[in-house]
């Protein structure tokens, strides 16, 4: 069985910053790395250890890791906390991601982001790239 490769294809992955959301997205990332894609993963410093197994098996395929500022700690009921965290991630990360994306000589061709990060649809639209929800 021959495996096709996608040399030169660069994808940005943005998981919601909890392990139960990061790990499935990293499993997808692993499959794309095997096919020869370059990947940039956005993570907070607290979640960097979750990437260790992927970094050790595919060190040259990861184009880069972008460390995001963690969301502020919000004390409120769980559902309100989730909504507040999503809003905070947009407020904190949208401008930084827009600037980062525009500064790249070979920017990602697509954004794969968590279902909870629906605001990345607007980011992708502004950047003129497709966004895939995972």
Which amino acids are annotated catalytic?
21, 114
**What SS3 class is residue 102?**
helix
* CA atoms of 65 and 11, how far apart (whole Å): 12
Residues 6+ apart with CB under 8 A from 119: 86, 89, 90, 94
Residue of 97, 110, 86 whose CA lies nearest to 37: 110
Residue of 66, 65, 62, 83 whose CA lies nearest to 74: 83
């Amino acid at each position: 069985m021959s495996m096709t490769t996608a040399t030169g294809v660069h994808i940005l992955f943005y998981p919601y910053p909890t392990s139960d959301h990061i790990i499935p997205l990293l499993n997808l990332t692993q499959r794309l790395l095997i096919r020869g894609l370059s990947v940039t993963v956005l993570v907070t410093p607290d979640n960097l250890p979750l990437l260790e197994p992927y970094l050790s098996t595919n060190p040259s395929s990861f184009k880069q890791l972008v460390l995001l500022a963690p969301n502020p700690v919000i004390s409120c009921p769980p559902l309100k906390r989730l909504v507040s965290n999503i809003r905070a991630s947009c407020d904190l990360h949208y401008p930084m991601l827009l600037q980062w994306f525009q500064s790249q000589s070979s920017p990602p061709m697509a954004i794969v982001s968590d279902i909870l990060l629906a605001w990345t649809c607007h980011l992708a639209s502004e950047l003129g790239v497709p966004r895939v929800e995972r």
